Structure 1
Amino acid sequence: MLGVAAPTPYDLRFRLLGIPVRVHPLFWLVMAVLSGGENHLPKVLIFIGCAFLSILVHEYGHGLVSRFYGYPPAEIVLFWMGGYCACDLGRQRPSQRLAVLAAGPGSGFLLLGVVFLVGQLFFGISFSDDLELIRTMLGLSSGRNLSMAYFMLPETVRSIFWVLTAINLMWGLLNLLPILPLDGGRITEILLTMFSPRQGMRWAHVVSLLTAGVLALVFFRWNQTGAGIWFAYFAFQNYQVLQTLHQAAKYGLIEDDADWWKR
């Protein structure tokens, strides 16, 4: 999401299901900061562990589907706030690229389903509790309708259940937004390029700029400064790409159609 992570002597390396995995040390640091548990070590460790599992599952979704189509990934890297799967999307057909990209968030939602199933089978958490938890995280409920089964869970189990749900639900939905370089933005780019090979990439960056810009304003208005800065960064990143495309077209490096929006 934020560039390619150069290897370091402190990377954690292992191989799982035939795919090499590398975890950059900044991943652990950023996850510890995002945990919000500066003075509560168990909270920090729970968040790091849940984030590691969730993001790894997400990237394996990309990697396994890519390998299914005959393009095994070079490696999976966990870095900063997420990670990336080094797949050769450029050699795949558009339908294959769409499947590979959608498999990431899809794997996260599948993991969320497994979490809910374990909660029902072993801890007595009902399906209505799952729905209420989702509504609470989306800001549609106060969580008052959660049953006593949820509140009777051991604190550690309840924390793990909450964090796994939050990460795989909220980060999954975030990743599907039509904002480059998120998976949703890349899916949007492929669809628009299939519709218009000449202008699809430009349109995707315009959609990304507008979506990220609007969300940045919304979050700043809600006093959610961190999220506002994050979306503002995405908006600025896409603005820079559009400027680069315009300059390249100006000097004849690529074809330009600056009046496409008037049609």
Structure 2
Amino acid sequence: MINFRGTVLSLHPLFVIVMLASVMTGRFFELLTLFAIVFIHELGHAGAALAMGFKVRSIQMLPFGGVAVIEDDRRMNAAREIIIALAGPLQNVIMIGIALLCQAAGWGDGPFLSYIIQGNLIIALFNLLPVLPLDGGKVLQALISLFVPYHATLLWTSRAGLICSLLMIGYGLVPILSNEGVKLNLLMIGLFLAYSNYEDHRNIQYRFIRFLVNRSQIQEHQQEGMGTAQPIVADSSKPLDDIMRLFKREKYHLIYVMNRQGSLMAVVPEQHVISSYFASSRPPWYA
């Protein structure tokens, strides 16, 4: 584990085991090349985040890739999240371009350059799959959050990721039916993605609470950047958490509270609803 200017660089224990196994099987150089490709991929995410003023907490190398943990403060929006997510595959495209130029110029070892091109292509395409926590899944989640309430976005993207992961596991086990060996690589990747999406689904409420905390700290000039306030019409008896689950990531909301007769009781800014929820007090329209 290395701490470089506040960013922790680490290897997952399973990754260390895979590296040791590659030494014993004579595939260490190939794995080291893939390690470098994945690390540059993750540096792309980290570089894009740092360029936009976000803190990169850690970069961890996993057996099937890597993960850059970026601090999610109230400045993170869908557009920035998409840029950060795509910055990783962009590094793979750049490396493929450099390798192709070297091949055209006759520089370097041909088979090694072909291996670099193939490795970058596989890693880029794999990461662009629309499954969390891969880059494609993050892009898909950010796009959906533009049109769907944020809580529903978290819920359904994690469920979709879990379903896709289970399908991948099933596909990896299909050869058993014809007395063939399992597709071990696909099975292991599917298990890893299934576990990641299961953990993501378990932590939805925590992520949503963090989203609300960031929303409660939005300043007036940031509200103006969200455009015209989007109204939410709610009955006075509607629970606060049900109202907040209608909040969209890129919108600022005003809650129009109606009584049973359909008359308007109050117009409440979203921050008042959030602060009332965290204070566990009566709804703000009774204040």
| TM-score of the two chains, using structure 2 as the length reference | 0.59
Q: Displacement, 1:112?
A: 1.8
Corresponding pairs, count: 204
Taking the aligned partners of 1:50 and 1:21, their CA distance within structure 2 comes to: 22
AA aligned opposite 2:77: R
RMSD: 3.4
Q: Deviations for 1:145-172, whole angstroms, at most 9, x for unmatched residues?
A: xxxxxxxx5xxx62x3343233211122
AA aligned opposite 2:17: L
Match of residue 209, structure 1, among 162, 181, 191? 162
Q: Percent identity?
A: 21
Which residue of structure 1 lines up, in the alignment, with residue 24 of structure 2? 38
AA aligned opposite 1:110: I
Q: Displacement, 1:72?
A: 4.2
Determine if the alignment matches structure 1 residue 169 to structure 2 residue 103.
Answer: no
Which residue of structure 1 lines up, in the alignment, with residue 64 of structure 2? 81
* Structure 2 CA distance for partners of 1:39 and 1:206, relative to 1, 3 Å: closer
Taking the aligned partners of 1:58 and 1:70, their CA distance within structure 2 comes to: 19
What SS does the aligned partner of 2:61 have? strand
Which residue of structure 1 lines up, in the alignment, with residue 143 of structure 2? 191
AA aligned opposite 2:185: G
Q: Displacement, 1:206?
A: 2.2
Q: Deviations for 1:224-246, whole angstroms, at most 9, x for unmatched residues?
A: 13312431442354356546759
Taking the aligned partners of 1:202 and 1:21, their CA distance within structure 2 comes to: 30
CA contact (8 A) 1:61 1:104 kept: yes
Determine if the alignment matches structure 1 residue 71 to structure 2 residue 54.
Answer: yes
| TM-score of the two chains, using structure 1 as the length reference | 0.64
CA contact (8 A) 2:8 2:57 kept: no
What SS does the aligned partner of 1:78 have? strand
Taking the aligned partners of 1:99 and 1:244, their CA distance within structure 2 comes to: 24
Which residue of structure 2 lines up, in the alignment, with residue 29 of structure 1? 17
Which residue of structure 1 lines up, in the alignment, with residue 86 of structure 2? 102
Determine if the alignment matches structure 1 residue 56 to structure 2 residue 63.
Answer: no
AA aligned opposite 1:54: I
Q: Displacement, 1:50?
A: 0.8
CA contact (8 A) 1:178 1:207 kept: no
What SS does the aligned partner of 1:170 have? helix
AA aligned opposite 2:143: L
CA contact (8 A) 2:130 2:136 kept: yes
| Structure 1: gaps of 5 or more residues | 1-10, 125-152, 258-263
Which residue of structure 2 lines up, in the alignment, with residue 93 of structure 1? 77
Match of residue 122, structure 1, among 97, 102, 106? 106
Determine if the alignment matches structure 1 residue 178 to structure 2 residue 137.
Answer: no
Q: Which has the larger share of strand?
A: 2
Taking the aligned partners of 2:86 and 2:153, their CA distance within structure 1 comes to: 19
Taking the aligned partners of 1:242 and 1:84, their CA distance within structure 2 comes to: 18
CA contact (8 A) 1:108 1:168 kept: yes
CA contact (8 A) 2:154 2:204 kept: no
Q: Displacement, 1:62?
A: 0.6
AA aligned opposite 2:72: L
State which structure, 1 or 2, has the greater radius of gyration over its C-alpha atoms: 2
Q: Displacement, 1:115?
A: 1.6
